[in-house]
Amino acid sequence: MNSNKIMVDIQNVRKDFGTVKALRKVSLQIHEGEVVLIIGPSGSGKSTLLRSVNRLETLTSGQIFVDGDPLIGPKADIRKIREETGMVFQSFNLFPHLNALDNICLAPIKVRKLSRTVAQERARKLLKRVGLGDRENAYPGQLSGGQKQRVAIARSLAMEPKVMLFDEPTSALDPEMIKEVLDVMLDLAKEGMTMIVVSHEMGFARAAADRVVFMDEGEIVEMGTSQQIFDNPREERTMKFLKHIL
Amino acid sequence: MASLNNHEEPRVIEITDGVLLPTHGERRIIDSWRLTLSIAILGLLAMIFLVKDPYSQIFRVVIKGAPLTFGVTLGAIFGSVFLGLFTGIGQIAHVRLLQLISGVYVELIRGIPLLVQLIFIYFALGKFFQLDGIPAAIIALSICYGAYQGEIFRAGIEAIPKGQMEAALALGLTRGQAMRYIILPQTLRIVIPAIGNEFIAMLKDSSLVSVIALRDILRRGREHVSRTFLSLETYALVALIYLVFTLVLSKLVAMLEDRMKRHEQ
Ligand SMILES: Nc1ncnc2c1ncn2[C@@H]1O[C@H](COP(=O)(O)OP(=O)(O)OP(=O)(O)O)[C@@H](O)[C@H]1O
Ligand SMILES: [Mg+2]
């Protein structure tokens, strides 16, 4: 499924919040169609790394390329990169004043300049794809957590991104809703979407992750296939962390 | 972690310094509102139609000021919301200069009594621009109230969870688009009660324009008193008229608030 093309190229990225070194020289290449899972203890910099890729956090130093386009520097076109990277948040961040359909249509209409009819047609298809074909008129306040997150995924997909970023997409959900969201993500992975996922869902990791990255204290400590990392970790810190979450 | 869900529910900014708005949840307030309105209207009718002299005469004189009172209030409502919106956005803008300008405006206005401002702005405007009394009064009231509404809008914008802006930016919207389509519509909903209270306060404070020679309800009353010396009777009637107007406006604001809420779901 992976091609040789590098879709996201993270080079020597550092990010300081005042004296806190959230990321220290992180480098990571993600190929087209690859699913990379990032794990690590709280505060290890997972969210910061993800949020750096679409510049919700500005880098202290380093560079990131998304499909060859630089994130930093005079040639950087941040809006283009944001159009090409979808992001799914732990807390959904659906727009509460818009119904499901309008949540999905807004960016295609305002950013991609699609006509309302075309945008709605696509939005309906996406809602069907995430199993919510009958809820297009529902407002976020009327949806369950799992449904909200699926609408949020559909909303990102409506921009036809080349990369999808997921920051703990299931950790605000009740256990019975986790599967419905993971299933949508698994489908996406199968269809060849490039994905960077921060999550501690082992089932998803084993089923879909091409690579697992373990981060601690702003660094990548170890990476490998899910088997390598989960069953035969090399580093002490990885073992300790895995013992903690398993 | 489930508490994260709460971030999606918009909070309501309530800053009350006017009439108590009747809300559905609180029956007692509705009742006190009804009772007060009934007393005011019955009192007014009794004075005008039963006691008649001198009240019907006074009423006919002072009510001529009502169009001016309403006109000035309405104009100032539009003016101050407009100014307030820009001030609120200016205060949270990422442009330092805008922040400073709107910040200074707010501090300046809030530190000076309304009556003093009104007289100053009125005469300052009169000195530099050839303005009629009514537009000058509207501008003066708008400038005064715009600052307070700026604070309300700022608080409203800041009450929208940060994730809303982030989600909008992540989708490729510009900051301006995010503001217009995501942040402000939500802000409007949560500031309606506070802004509505400002409207009511403005209706009351429009009586201050009587000091700058505009013939509103209060001014007409004062003129009548100077002719007839019926001060107690005249001012009692003037007070009742304001009370009825204020109570009715507060009801309208409550209805608007209600409609906004129903739109939500
Ligand atoms: N906006 C911010 N201001 C200051 N410090 C921050 C900010 N965001 C993150 N940090 C700090 O940066 C470090 C990395 O945070 P980050 O959120 O990336 O961790 P994480 O691995 O995602 O943790 P979690 O599993 O709890 O989500 C932490 O020490 C955190 O306190
Ligand atoms: Mg995080």
Q: Which range (B2-6, B57-61, B138-142) has the least confidence?
A: B2-6
User: Does B10 map to a domain?
Assistant: no
Closest C-alpha to B102, from B113, B114, B87: B87
Mean pLDDT within A228-237: 94
Provide the residue range defining the domain that includes B246.
32-264
Confidence of residue A134 (pLDDT cuts 50, 70, 90): very high
> Does the C-beta of A20 come closer than 6 Å to ligand 1?
yes
Nearest protein CA to atom 18 of ligand 1, as residue: A45
Please report the pLDDT score of residue B33 as a whole number: 81
pLDDT above 90 (res B130): no
Each residue's pLDDT tens digit, B155-184: 999 999 999 999 999 999 999 999 999 999
pLDDT above 80 (res B19): no
Please judge whether A172 and B166 are an interchain contact, meaning their C-beta atoms are less than 8 angstroms apart.
Answer: no
Nearest protein CA to atom 25 of ligand 1, as residue: A42
Helices (H), ranges, chain B: 27-45, 55-62, 66-92, 96-110, 114-128, 133-159, 162-170, 175-178, 184-205, 217-228, 231-264
User: Does B14 map to a domain?
Assistant: no
pLDDT above 70 (res B127): yes
Interface of A with B (CB under 8 A): 54, 56, 79, 82-83, 85-87, 89-97, 106-107, 110-111, 139-142, 145, 152, 155-156, 159, 171-172, 174
Task: Calculate the alpha carbon distances from B182 to A94, A107, A217, A222, B74 in Å.
Answer: 10, 11, 35, 40, 28
Q: Of the candidates A106, A155, A172, which has its C-beta nearest B2's C-beta?
A: A172
Q: Of the candidates B7, B164, B169, which has its C-beta nearest A56's C-beta?
A: B169
Q: Are B100 and B256 in contact (CB under 8 A)?
A: no
What value, to the nearest 5°, has the Cα angle with vertex B264 and ends B260 and B265?
Answer: 135
Please report the pLDDT score of residue B20 as a whole number: 55
Provide the 8-state DSSP code for B132. -
Which neighbouring-strand residues pair with A50? none
The pTM assigned to this predicted structure is 0.85
- Domain of B69, CATH number, reads 1.10.3720.10
Please judge whether A139 and B265 are an interchain contact, meaning their C-beta atoms are less than 8 angstroms apart.
Answer: yes
Q: Please give the full DSSP string across B13-78, using - where no structure is assigned.
A: -----SSPPP-SS-HHHHHHHHHHHHHHHHHHHIIIIII-TTHHHHHHHHGGGHHHHHHHHHHHHH
**Residue burial A13-52, b: 16+ Cβ < 10 Å; e: rest:** bbbeeeeebbbbebebebbbbbbbbbbbbeebbbbbbbbb
pLDDT above 60 (res B5): no
Q: Which of residues 156-175 of B touch A (CB under 8 A)?
A: 161, 163-164, 166-174
User: Does B19 map to a domain?
Assistant: no
Q: What is the three-class DSSP state of A133?
A: coil
Q: Are B145 and B198 in contact (CB under 8 A)?
A: yes
Distance between CA A49 and CA A61 in Å, rounded?
13
User: Does B152 map to a domain?
Assistant: yes
pLDDT above 90 (res A123): yes
Provide the 8-state DSSP code for A88. E
Q: How many CB atoms are closer than 10 A to CB B153? A: 29
Confidence of residue A88 (pLDDT cuts 50, 70, 90): very high
Share of chain B above pLDDT 70, in %: 87
* Chain A CB within 8 Å of residue B204 CB: no
> Which bound ligand lies closest to the C-alpha atom of A200?
1
ipTM of the complex: 0.94
Please report the pLDDT score of residue A147 as a whole number: 96
Q: Would you call the peptide bond into A169 cis, given omega within 30 degrees of 0 as the criterion?
A: no
Give the phi and the psi of residue A166 in degrees, each rounded to 5.
Answer: -120, 120
User: Does B226 map to a domain?
Assistant: yes
Please report the pLDDT score of residue B14 as a whole number: 58
> Does the C-beta of A226 come closer than 6 Å to ligand 1?
no
Q: Are B8 and A140 in contact (CB under 8 A)?
A: yes
Closest C-alpha to B221, from B204, B205, B244, B239: B239
Mean pLDDT within B90-113: 90
pLDDT above 70 (res B17): no
Confidence of residue B255 (pLDDT cuts 50, 70, 90): confident
Q: Which range (A66-75, A236-245, B27-36) has the least confidence?
A: B27-36
Helix (H) or strand (E) holding A212: strand A211-216
Q: Of the candidates A89, A94, A159, which has its C-beta nearest B172's C-beta?
A: A159
Would you say how long chain A is, in residues?
A: 246
Q: Please give the full DSSP string across A142-177, using - where no structure is assigned.
A: GS-HHHHHHHHHHHHHTT--SEEEEESTTTTS-HHH
User: Does B1 map to a domain?
Assistant: no
CA distance A139 to chain B (A): 6
Each residue's pLDDT tens digit, A175-221: 989 999 999 999 999 999 999 999 999 999 999 999 999 999 999 99
Phi-psi region of A43 (alpha: psi -120 to 50; beta: other; left: phi over 0): left
Distance between CA B123 and CA A109 in Å, rounded?
49
User: Does B186 map to a domain?
Assistant: yes
pLDDT above 90 (res B256): no
Q: Tokens 């009353």 — which residue?
A: B221
pLDDT above 60 (res B122): yes
Confidence of residue B3 (pLDDT cuts 50, 70, 90): very low
Q: What is the three-class DSSP state of B207?
A: helix
Structural domain total, chain B? 1
Please report the pLDDT score of residue B18 as a whole number: 53
CA of A48 to the centre of ligand 1 (A): 6
What value, to the nearest 5°, has the Cα angle with vertex B157 and ends B73 and B20?
Answer: 45
Please report the pLDDT score of residue B125 as a whole number: 76
Q: What is the three-class DSSP state of A185?
A: helix
Closest C-alpha to A148, from A183, A103, A111, A200: A103
Atom of ligand 1 nearest to the CA of A90: 27
Please report the pLDDT score of residue B261 as a whole number: 73
3-state secondary structure string, A66-86? ECCEECCCCCCCHHHHHHHEE
Q: Tokens 């529902």 — which residue?
A: A138
Confidence of residue B259 (pLDDT cuts 50, 70, 90): confident
Following CA atoms A40, A43, A49, A51 in sequence, which dihedral angle do they give, to the nearest 10 degrees? 130
Each residue's pLDDT tens digit, A30-85: 999 999 999 999 999 999 999 999 999 999 999 999 999 999 999 899 999 999 99
